[in-house]
Amino acid sequence: MIERTFSMIKPDAVLRGIVGEVIARIERKGLKIVGMRMIRVSEDQASRLYAVHREKPFYGELVSFIRSAPVVVMAIEGESAVSVMRRLIGSTDAKEASPGTVRGDFSCSKSMNVIHASDSVENAQKELAIFFGEGELLSYERLDAKWVT
């Protein structure tokens, strides 16, 4: 089933200059980027994105980190996009992320882990709405679509 998911290339990846490598991996996997821009996350966006962690002791650091430098927000579309992205990026903890995954190859720690991706279709819808407005996502066919899906 074709799904849309949300992903964010985090400040550590932007500051290290590996945004292009992360995007290339997403595209090489056959996923389609249907919305993308570089932004500075607002306090409101950060609090909505990380609302589930609000009562946890690391919440303040999480919000501070995501607002510390620009990020690249993306809407990604493809067959089972949510689960495919989660496998592509790897485990949250750098020590547990498998080689070949984005986090396994590039993350430095559990908090500086290069990329965020929605963990469910429901959360993807909520997270996409935080960063993209009505009519901002595009529709197009990749030339290799018949081989990828």
- CB count within 10 Å of CB 144 equals 9
Identify whether 53 is a catalytic site residue.
no
Strand-by-strand arrangement of the 71-79 sheet: 32-39, 71-79, 2-9, 115-117
The single residue of 89, 116, 117, 124 carrying the catalytic annotation is 116
Non-local (6+) Cβ contacts of 22 within 8 A are 9, 13, 102, 106, 114, 115
Non-local (6+) Cβ contacts of 107 within 8 A are 12, 90, 94, 97, 113, 114
Q: Which residues are catalytic?
A: 116
